[in-house]
């Protein structure tokens, strides 16, 4: 068994141990946390302070647990011990989307798939999808989200707008800064050739082309979409 503390940077080790003791001893007294909650706390804190991206397979190897168990424990830890706000959750989601690869299934279906390894954050996406009347199935087996382009753009525009009144000001600024890179990453994933086809006369008649054209008129992210189309 590896020394888990060595995976935590030296400067972060006091914070790691301090937060562990706060929840394990200070709040409820020694032994006051049920074992499943203690397991969840350790996995959550390890992920937080090691600085590594959430990877259920790797964590399963480290803690000798099934991936499904790791995901369940991490979600419990995030809910019970993180104190994460919805705004911060969306910052984490957008940080991931700015580097992920979007795969367009077809022009007519206008669906994209992307990796979404952290199921604990999916509930924040699901909440906002419900607010706009949209859906985006999440596969825990393949760790992917499938969503139509029109719903994706509507969701991003909704978050861009919601951040101005429903999230903290610092979170709003960060979300606004991340939105452009997310749109650029989508464009990079599709490729300039495909984008040129989608904005052409034939492409505009497809669901994918129509979705991109409509997104350019959205009040929040429309400017980013226009800039993306102008770049090709």
State the pLDDT at residue 1: 45
Q: Are 134 and 177 in a shared domain?
A: yes
Residue ending a domain, among 19, 51, 81, is 81
* Interval 164-173 mean pLDDT: 92
Residue 5 confidence (pLDDT) above 90? no
Q: Distance (Å, rounded) from C-alpha 19 to C-alpha 25?
A: 10
Q: Are 39 and 137 in a shared domain?
A: no
- How would you label 137-153 residue by residue, b for 16+ Cβ within 10 Å and e otherwise? ebeeeebbbbbbbbbbb
Q: Distance (Å, rounded) from C-alpha 74 to C-alpha 54?
A: 9
Is the Cβ–Cβ distance between 199 and 229 less than 8 Å? Answer: yes
* Interval 92-108 mean pLDDT: 94
Residue ending a domain, among 52, 81, 110, is 81
Residue 162 confidence (pLDDT) above 80? yes
State the pLDDT at residue 34: 87
Domain of residue 35: give its range.
Answer: 4-81
Residue 107 confidence (pLDDT) above 60? yes
Q: Are 132 and 210 in a shared domain?
A: yes
Total count of domains within the chain = 2
Q: 33-37, 117-121, 178-182, 218-222: which range is least confident on average?
A: 117-121
Instruction: Please indicate whether residue 20 or residue 151 has the higher confidence score (pLDDT).
Output: 151
State the pLDDT at residue 110: 96
State the pLDDT at residue 52: 78
Residue 3 confidence (pLDDT) above 90? no
Q: Are 111 and 74 in a shared domain?
A: no
State the pLDDT at residue 53: 76
* Interval 172-192 mean pLDDT: 96
Residue ending a domain, among 81, 114, 136, is 81
Q: Token pair of 37, please?
A: 């909650």
Residue 31 confidence (pLDDT) above 70? no
* CB within 8 Å of 213: residues ≥ 6 apart: 199, 204
Q: What's the pTM value of the predicted model, to 2 decimals?
A: 0.79
Q: Distance (Å, rounded) from C-alpha 34 to C-alpha 41?
A: 11
């Amino acid at each position: 068994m590896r020394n888990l503390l060595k995976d935590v940077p030296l400067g972060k080790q006091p914070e790691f141990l301090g937060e562990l003791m706060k929840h394990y001893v200070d709040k409820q007294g020694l032994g006051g946390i049920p074992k499943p909650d203690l397991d969840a706390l350790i996995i959550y804190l390890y992920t937080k302070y090691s600085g590594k991206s959430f990877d259920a397979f790797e964590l399963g190897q480290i803690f000798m647990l099934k991936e499904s168990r790791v995901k369940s424990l991490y979600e419990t830890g995030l809910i019970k011990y993180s104190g994460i706000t919805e705004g911060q959750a969306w910052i984490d989601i957008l940080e991931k989307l700015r580097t992920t690869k979007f795969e367009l299934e077809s022009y007519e279906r206008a669906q994209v798939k992307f990796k979404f390894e952290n199921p604990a954050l999916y509930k924040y996406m699901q909440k906002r999808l419900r607010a706009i009347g949209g859906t985006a199935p999440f596969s825990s087996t393949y760790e992917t989200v499938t969503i139509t382009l029109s719903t994706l753009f509507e969701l991003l525009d909704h978050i861009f707008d919601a951040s101005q009144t429903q999230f903290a000001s610092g979170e709003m600024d960060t979300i606004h800064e991340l939105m452009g890179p997310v749109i650029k990453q989508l464009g990079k994933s599709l490729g300039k050739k495909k984008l040129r086809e989608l904005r052409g006369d034939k492409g505009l008649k497809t669901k994918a082309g129509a979705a991109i054209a409509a997104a350019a008129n959205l009040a929040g992210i429309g400017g980013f979409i226009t800039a993306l189309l102008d770049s090709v």
